[in-house]
Amino acid sequence: MISLTQSPPLLHGRLYQLPTKRRTLFTVRSSSSLQEIDKSSPSKVEERELSSELYASVPFPSIKAKKRVVLVRHGQSTWNEEGRIQGSSNFSVLTKKGEAQAETSRQMLIDDSFDVCFSSPLIRSKRTAEIIWGTRKEEMMTDSDLREIDLYSFQGLLKHEGKAKFGPAYRQWQVDAANFNIDGHFPVRELWARASNCWTKILAHESKSVLVVAHNAVNQALVATAIGLGTEYFRVLLQSNCGVSVLDFTPRPEEGSPYICLNRLNQTPSSPVAAGSSGGRKTSKRIILVCQGSTQDIEASFSNLGDRPLNMLGILQAQKTAELLLDLKVSAIVSSPRSACAETATIISRVQEAADCLGADCVPRYVEMKQIQDLDVAEILQQSTKDTIDVSSLRPGCLNGLDDEVMSTLWEQSGRAWHSLLTELSDESEKETIIVAVGHPTVLVALMGHCLNLTKEWLGSFHLDAGSISVVDFPDGPTSRGVIRCINYTAHLGRWSIPITRSTVDDESF
């Protein structure tokens, strides 16, 4: 195994001001990588307002061929189990559960081809990488920049000990991590710089398919810096033990920084909807975005997007999604009025309503169903003049090819749809509210953008497959920021799911 020496951090990004409108929780950003610059310490109020607004403009290095990077967090460790703050310490090892999670991830990735594996040198991550890598003969490399976030005096403490010993500092770590300061360091800012440095080395490596095995915080930073999100997005893009995230890098014709697309986020060995918490925080408000099943439109383009029903594969995908959601008590199912979406919603509804009917005297569960016109984007997409885009598969980053006027209209309409979903979620009559929204992948991508308070330029930064689900939790309620639990989760589709990686034989696929 080869070890890489640490290099000086590389900073990235551009500054965009936050618009003064509803849910002003994040700085709105352009779709280029960002990295915060440290500065002299202002007052705490100024620090909270300004810390995420100072960025340097340096793009990612150009690449010559498409590259797919698969990120995996290590399995459960002994200190995870104890509730002890690990940081970059190297005293914990995988538990039996952690070893089993790593084995499940190995099975998840067993048919996928990789050219190289980058791993954190810490025991818990390195062991996870060894289990997943199995009998592969390709190169494994450790890189100290992939170690977990440096938490200095916090490391080794149980969480209640950290709260008792550090008081206000621990509170800031919980509620304002981007500006958290300990022992003269800003750990999250340092982590973002380190993640950018990692990308420079990963992209410089001559490989098309890369496995990276690391940790919770550093994987969050890797995802965020890749798609251009600053430190205020820490704890927004969830990374569970052995969760798999995928990023696609596509070279630009004119060289320069590559197009970057988050293909999936946090595909876990266990169900993404099983637990009612996000990152250890209890949540009673949740939106589940369900991508319609496959339709009878094999050769469809944006200008030829008709109202087609589900094909047989689409029906199977909808049934598998309904099974995944079986143990949840869904409050309402909202869908586009288009045939494929309405069919998918109906299949989920029937399974939900039959969920409690296991005995002779049962009473069927009622699930409210609604259709929202703003979730129907077919007519908007048909306005596109770029017929070369195949919407039957919607390859990663393909929405970059939409006309600007079409993107603006799509963004405006999807914003109204997102507001409608938040209104549905605000029902205080129910202690727990779960809204399922079914739509075309294009509108669901836009909804995630609104959730993250981004701009229309981000439409090409996310990807969804037919039959996938994406989960957004609201641990502080629907008026506060959402936590993305997973994006483009497809493991529930079983044999009909899309492999994490694809053949690297030709340049047309990852």
Catalytic residues: 74, 148
Query: Does the annotation place 124 within a ligand binding site?
Result: yes
- The reply to whether 64 sits in an annotated binding site is no
Q: CB of 470 within 8 A of CB of 489?
A: yes
Distance, CA of 305 to CA of 380 (rounded, Å) = 10
For residue 306, which amino acid is it?
G
Q: Give 4-72 as a DSSP string.
A: EPP----------PPPSSSS--S----SS---B---S---HHHHHHHGGG-B---PPPP-SS-EEEEEE
- Residue 196 neighbours by CB under 8 Å, 6+ apart: 9, 10, 11, 12, 33, 35, 225
73 is in an annotated binding site: yes
Annotated binding residue 482:
no
Largest distance between two CA atoms of the chain:
70
Inter-CA distances, 40 with 37, 46, 184, 186, 444, Å: 10, 11, 12, 12, 41
Residue 485 marked ligand-binding? no
- The reply to whether 80 sits in an annotated binding site is yes
User: Is 308 assigned a ligand-binding role in the annotation?
Assistant: no
CA–CA separation, 32 vs 249, rounded Å?
Answer: 13
Q: Which two tokens stand for residue 106?
A: 């190995």
Calpha distance 251→374 (Å, rounded)? 34
What number of residues does the chain have? 510
80 vs 74: CA distance, rounded Å? 11
Do 321 and 274 meet the contact criterion of CB atoms below 8 Å apart? no
Residue 68 annotated in ligand binding: no
Amino acid at the residue 463: H
Residue 450 labelled as part of a binding site: no
Distance CA 180, CA 177 (A): 5
Give the orientation angle of helix 404-425 with respect to helix 441-451, to 10 degrees: 70
In b/e form, how buried is each residue of 5-23, taking b as 16+ CB within 10 angstroms? Answer: eeeebbbbbbebeeeeeeb
Annotated binding-site residue? 76: yes
Which residues make up each annotated binding site for substrate? Answer: 73-80, 124, 159
Which residues make up each annotated binding site? Answer: 73-80, 124, 159
